[in-house]
Amino acid sequence: MTTGPTRYLDRASVGALFGVSAQAVAKWQDRHGDFPAPDVHLGDRDLPGWLPERADEIRAWHAARPGQGAGGGRPRKRQE
């Protein structure tokens, strides 16, 4: 029995799991050292690829991310 070529998830496919762009996934990779490492790097541009069966691992990483921080902006004006 022969099998076809191995298919990988690219950044756009990973982003589609969460409704974000491929650029957002690239930022996650750059900013979060615990983002799941790709299984391969493809082509001259060294594009990352993840095996489809790792989608649950990537979802678990995303679910464990902290939410937006509290504070950090200009205080709201008081309504008096």
Would you say residue 70 has pLDDT above 70?
Answer: no
Kindly state whether residue 75 falls inside one of the protein's structural domains: no
Average pLDDT of the residues in 67-77: 68
Overall domain count for the chain: 1
pLDDT over 90 percentage in the chain: 68
Spatial distance between the Cα atoms of 20 and 25, rounded to a whole number of angstroms: 8
Tell me if 68 is assigned to some domain.
no
Q: Over the stretch 52-67, which tens digit does the pLDDT of each residue have?
A: 999 999 999 999 988 7
27 is a domain residue: yes
Within-domain flag for 78: no
In a domain, 55, yes or no: yes
For the cut 80, the answer to whether the pLDDT of residue 79 exceeds it is: no
Tell whether 59 is covered by a domain: yes
Given pLDDT bands bounded at 50, 70 and 90, which one contains residue 72? low
Task: Residue 18: give the domain boundaries.
Answer: 11-63
For residues 4-29, give the mean pLDDT: 96
CB-based contacts of 29, cutoff 8 Å, min separation 6: 35, 48
Put residue 31 in one of left, alpha, beta given phi > 0 → left and psi -120 to 50 → alpha: alpha
Tell me how far apart the alpha carbons of residues 46 and 43 are, in angstroms, rounded to a whole number.
Answer: 5
